[in-house]
Structure 1
Amino acid sequence: MKTLSLAVFISLFCFSSYSVAQELYNFEMKQTDGTSLPFSKFKGKTLLIVNIATRCGLTGQLDDIEALYKKYKEKGFEVVGIPSNDFASQTPENDSDVAKFCRLKYGATFPITTKTIVTGDKKHALYKYLVKESTKNEIEWNFTKFLFDKNGKLIKRYPSMMGPMSREIRKTIERNL
């Protein structure tokens, strides 16, 4: 009986771990150009998801996010920027103006979604998932970063103030390429 119970436990544990990791790939968002961005396209890649803003004191991080993207893209690294106006209305522009700003001022070439609610009762399902999978704490500010491995498993949530080019983030990305 103990052997059977252990086998059932192990299979349930393995199945639940697999399904949690696969859940990331079930999300789909709209990009600022109106096209769909299915997260299933990131299978087999290391992925950084960042809630971005255009008029925040941390907006300069867009330079470093783009630098990370360019540095590791050919090795299987992807970035998704998700604009949000949730914090002090620091992204007041419409979706196309957000994309223009990021592309012209910071040279962003990574995918940028439409503006999304990332905190509170009305937060997008992706952010419900991100919060649940990480610290269970709400997103506190712009530029919170979530790093996923090639199997869609959350590696780590990084706070807004941690720069994208920090040694910790770069080393973790390198270990997971």
Structure 2
Amino acid sequence: MGSIYDFAAETIDGRPAPLSDYRGKVVLIVNTASKCGFTKQYAGLEALYRKYGDRGLVVLGFPCNQFGAQEPGDEEEIRSFCSLTYDVDFPMMRKIDVNGPKAHPLYAFLKTQKKGVLGTEGIKWNFTKFLVDREGRVVDRFAPTVEPKALEGAIEALL
């Protein structure tokens, strides 16, 4: 079956980010965008990170430009936007694809572990959320319309 610990990413600053660094943490993985109707969820994601971070929650943001070209900026523009607009302190990664032949291997894995509506694997839009337990197993998938605050019960159950 594997776990998220089998994968690596790059931080928005270009540094290696093996997901094994998050071993023993509860991880919320989200594909993000700066010019989306759901962009305001950055505030809720940051609130979760601040509320539960000391208990072991990590939020990982993966910018993606595959949905309506709503993340057109480069990494520096994305980082600046997140910091200045939403005071984001949770780890942000380099922009990736989440669908298609160039999908990041982590997302290829996540989609097989928790399918979407009617068993579909593809990510439908920005701010799809995957919740991962302390053993690196994907335990739930949440639609973009699910507000971060609504995840508190599921997060607390894993902490």
**How does the TM-score come out when normalised to structure 2?**
0.95
Name the structure 2 match of 1:46.
Answer: 26
Unaligned residue ranges in structure 2 (runs of 5+): none
**Deviating runs (4+, > 6 A) in structure 1?**
none
Indicate the structure with greater helix content.
Answer: 1
One-letter amino acid of the structure 1 residue matched with residue 153 of structure 2: K
Name the structure 2 match of 1:170.
Answer: 152
Backbone CA RMSD of aligned residues: 0.9
Q: Indicate the larger mover: 70-79 or 120-129.
A: 120-129
Name the structure 2 match of 1:36.
Answer: 16
**TM superposition shift of 1:33:** 1.1
Distance 2:32 2:98 in 1: 10
Name the structure 1 match of 2:76.
Answer: 96
**How does the TM-score come out when normalised to structure 1?**
0.85
Larger Rg: 1
Aligned residues: 155
Whether 1:57 and 2:41 are equivalent positions in the alignment is no
**TM superposition shift of 1:86:** 0.3
Unaligned residue ranges in structure 1 (runs of 5+): 1-19
Percentage of identical aligned residues: 39
Q: Give a deviation string over 1:113-155, Cα, whole Å, max 9, x none.
A: 1100011222111110011111152000000000000001111
One-letter amino acid of the structure 2 residue matched with residue 141 of structure 1: W
Whether 1:160 and 2:144 are equivalent positions in the alignment is yes
Name the structure 2 match of 1:14.
Answer: none
Whether 1:125 and 2:109 are equivalent positions in the alignment is no
Distance 1:138 1:34 in 2: 26
The partner residue of 1:137 within 113, 116, 121 is 121
